[in-house]
Amino acid sequence: MRVANRNLSCRCKPPAQRRRPLAIREGDDWAELIPPFRGDFQRATAVSNRPTLIASPRDDEVFQDLAEAMVAAGANTPSALQEALRSRYPKAVVRARDLSGERGVIWYVYREGRWTRSGKAPGG
């Protein structure tokens, strides 16, 4: 098999012409989640270590928001979050998901101590 000699030049833009990331306004809710500079590894690591919460029931936004706020305020282990949530939700249980090879940190947060279908939020 014979391959024709082609000019396979790179079609990438030179570094000066590449699109720069959009700036995030100060005070924006997402500003704390995105490192401002490529070399800001310490901040990027802190963001990537923040657990993703999977709340049950999914439609109880008050419960979800409270759990997220408690993690942001320093509840850095499942037991710490569970203890903090129990002041308002006595049956709350928090379990870490531990799958081999999984990169992210994921916690299951159960308002009633077990999985609950949506549609059972208080007052709903």
**pLDDT, tens only, 54-100:** 999 999 999 999 999 999 999 999 999 999 999 999 999 999 998 88
21/8 Cα distance (integer angstroms): 28
Q: Is the pTM of this model over 0.75?
A: no
Residue of 50, 32, 24, 38 whose CA lies nearest to 107: 50
Q: Answer yes or no: are the C-beta atoms of 32 and 85 closer than 8 Å.
A: no
In the chain, pLDDT over 70 holds for what percent of residues?
A: 57
Is beta strand 106-110 parallel, antiparallel or unpaired with respect to 52-56? parallel
Whether 38 has a pLDDT exceeding 70, the answer reads no
